[in-house]
Amino acid sequence: MKLLEGKTAIVTGAARGIGKEIALKYASEGCNIAFTDLVIDENGKKTEEEIAAYGVKCKGYASNAADFAATEKTVEEIKADFGSIDILVNNAGITKDGLMLRMTEQQWDAVIAVNLKSAFNYIHAVLPIMMRQKSGSIINMASVVGVHGNAGQSNYAASKAGLIALAKSIAQEVGSRGIRANAIAPGFIETAMTEALPAEVRKEWCQKIPLRRGGKVEDIANVATFLASDMSGYVTGQVIQVDGGMNM
């Protein structure tokens, strides 16, 4: 039997990147997928088709994760379409980097809203459903910079640190209802964004990593699958760093 057979997951910001990889991995393990993004364009439709090819139910929802009312409406639609919500992956995120002295209020507010408030919105919306089911797994996609900070990314680091504390707090609040909450803190992961960096910058990053390489999106998806499955049934309130040992 597949690890997530018959379960339903919401993965936010999953039309591309790490979110998409997690959704595909979940689908390969028998999980039905509801994914969200700001718009479901041709790229989103392609993602929908790729996920559905695993023989699971899949639907993409155009929704602003940072909007509380829109999130409530989207979750209601997902519950009506799928019947249950067993897994929530809060993956939606943006960056607007800059040194604190030059950072604008808009840069700060935008990152906090999309990265952190969106997780509050979705957790708030799915908890009543999971509590009635007496089960559920919530996974917040954090970052190693949420653990140790990073110059020029105070807004991003603060949002990711918030996701870690949020997962730990939710784990304490609803553990007695059979609901688990954890965070994943990726390190230097090879994505389209990191591929755009100069070769010397990427090489310098890898030299700081004990495994001497960047991570793959599959590395994140594998840990997300573990946390979503019954294999991690006694794991809650944890932050798992997937960083090749970069931040020991």
| Rounded distance between C-alpha atoms, residue 35 and residue 152, angstroms | 31
Would you state the pLDDT for residue 200?
A: 87
CB 114 within 8 A of CB 132: no
Annotate 126-159 with DSSP letters as a single string: HHHHHHHHT-EEEEEE--THHHH--TT-HHHHHH
Q: According to the model, what pLDDT value does residue 150 have?
A: 92
Whether the Cβ atoms of residue 155 and residue 216 lie closer than 8 Å to each other: no
| Within-domain flag for 203 | no
Percent of the chain with pLDDT over 90: 90
Residue 170 located in a structural domain: yes
- Taking 70 as the pLDDT cut, the residues of the chain under it are 193
Domain range for 127 is: 8-188+218-242
Count the domains in the chain: 1
Q: What pLDDT does 248 receive?
A: 85
Note whether 205 and 218 are within 8 A (CB): no
- The CATH number assigned to the domain holding 47 equals 3.40.50.720
- Whether residue 247 is contained in a domain is answered as no
156 classed as catalytic: yes
Task: With respect to residue 39, please indicate whether it lies within any of the assigned structural domains.
Answer: yes
Asked, for residue 2, whether it belongs to a domain, the answer is no
Q: Which of 26, 54, 122, 156 is catalytic?
A: 156
Q: Between the CA of residue 70 and those of 13, 61, 64, 74, 96, what are the distances in Å?
A: 14, 11, 7, 6, 23
Q: Which residues pair with 239 in a beta bridge?
A: 183
Percent of the chain whose pLDDT exceeds 70: 100
Q: Examine residue 202 and state whether it is found in any structural domain, yes or no.
A: no
Burial class (CB in 10 A: 0-12, 13-18, 19+), 103: middle
- Distance CA(74)–CA(61), nearest Å, equals 7
0.85 surpassed by pTM: yes
